[in-house]
């Protein structure tokens, strides 16, 4: 069953008063339970595309369908894990995880049960009464993931959530995220500029072309899980993507020269 459908998404940016075409008709179909990575050079508009799916940004034309229904505003059925975490500093870890549940008007006891479950899943139980500044960057992203999952979204959106992490922490979270995906059977769209990351996580990797942006190619990664960062068998997939992106980088250079 198709979970999410992006149809011909077009978006212009304003650059010193001139409209610049950023997304030039993006089409993407995501099946229920799929794990899709969007990879591309920085500034190619993949985060903008994710924001449009989240309803935080509006396309100039085109439409997003979730379970066949048109999406036009943000909603807890498409929770996002932001690059910088975007946790609320005035709330304890546990209250951060419960935020969306509270907004939804779910009674306190039920909220506690749900948040305990996800804090436990992300190994955060010890930190539930901490404030976010007391956590490392890796811990913050765990909280952000727990917070997004607690709302039991139709689809989980992740915007370069591991970009600021040191490599050991990232490798650990890459494995954990795969286990969580298998356990929760969530549909995930994961944006990254890190090719290795996209190959480890994605069932499919959609390669974004540089501005004006389109999906240049989709690669299916049919390989057993959990995949580890050091697995050499993943290199050939990485290589394929690098080849695709290389021409992009060269083109980008030509444009800027």
| Positions that interact with another protein (CB under 8 A) | 51, 54-56, 73-76, 78-80, 82, 84, 86-91, 99-100, 102-104, 131, 133-134, 147, 151
For another protein, which is the closer residue by CB, 21 or 164?
A: 164
For another protein, which is the closer residue by CB, 130 or 252?
A: 130
Interatomic CA distance for residues 212 and 214, integer angstroms: 7
For another protein, which is the closer residue by CB, 56 or 172?
A: 56
Query: Taking each helix axis from N to C terminus, what angle separates 137-150 and 108-121, rounded to the nearest 10 degrees?
Result: 130
Among candidate residues 175, 190, 168, 177, the one with its CA nearest the CA of residue 145: 177
User: In the complex, what is the shortest distance from the CB of residue 129 to another protein, in angstroms, rounded to a whole number?
Assistant: 12
Element holding 96 (H helix, E strand): helix 93-103
Residue 139: Cβ within 10 Å count? 19
For another protein, which is the closer residue by CB, 17 or 89?
A: 89
User: In the complex, what is the shortest distance from the CB of residue 217 to another protein, in angstroms, rounded to a whole number?
Assistant: 29
User: In the complex, what is the shortest distance from the CB of residue 136 to another protein, in angstroms, rounded to a whole number?
Assistant: 13
With beta carbons less than 8 A apart as the criterion, state whether 57 and 73 touch.
no
For another protein, which is the closer residue by CB, 17 or 255?
A: 17
Residue 86: Cβ within 10 Å count? 13
User: In the complex, what is the shortest distance from the CB of residue 84 to another protein, in angstroms, rounded to a whole number?
Assistant: 6
Whether the ω angle into residue 184 lies within 30 degrees of 0, i.e. cis, is no
User: In the complex, what is the shortest distance from the CB of residue 249 to another protein, in angstroms, rounded to a whole number?
Assistant: 28
Residue 55: Cβ within 10 Å count? 17
């Amino acid at each position: 069953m198709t979970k999410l459908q992006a149809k011909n998404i077009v978006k212009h940016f304003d650059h010193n008063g001139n409209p610049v075409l950023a997304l030039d008709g993006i089409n993407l179909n995501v099946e229920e339970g799929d794990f899709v990575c969007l990879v591309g050079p920085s500034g190619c508009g993949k985060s903008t595309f994710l924001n449009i799916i989240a309803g935080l940004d509006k396309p100039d034309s085109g439409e997003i369908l979730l379970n066949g229904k048109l999406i036009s505003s943000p909603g807890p059925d498409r929770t996002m894990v932001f690059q910088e975490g975007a946790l609320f500093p005035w709330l304890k870890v546990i209250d951060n995880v419960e935020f969306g549940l509270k907004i939804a008007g779910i009674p306190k006891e039920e909220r506690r049960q749900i948040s305990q479950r996800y804090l436990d899943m992300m190994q955060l139980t010890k930190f539930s009464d901490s404030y976010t500044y007391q956590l490392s960057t890796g811990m913050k992203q765990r909280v952000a993931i727990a917070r997004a999952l607690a709302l039991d979204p139709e689809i989980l959106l992740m915007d370069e959530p591991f970009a600021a992490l040191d490599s050991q922490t990232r490798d650990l979270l890459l494995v954990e995220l795969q286990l969580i995906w298998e356990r929760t059977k969530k549909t995930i769209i994961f944006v990254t500029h890190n090719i290795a990351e996209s190959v480890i996580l994605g069932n499919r990797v959609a390669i974004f072309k540089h501005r004006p942006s389109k999906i240049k190619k989709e690669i299916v990664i049919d390989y057993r899980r959990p995949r580890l960062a050091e697995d050499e068998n993943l290199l050939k997939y990485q290589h394929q993507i690098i080849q695709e992106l290389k021409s992009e980088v060269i083109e980008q250079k030509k444009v800027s020269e």
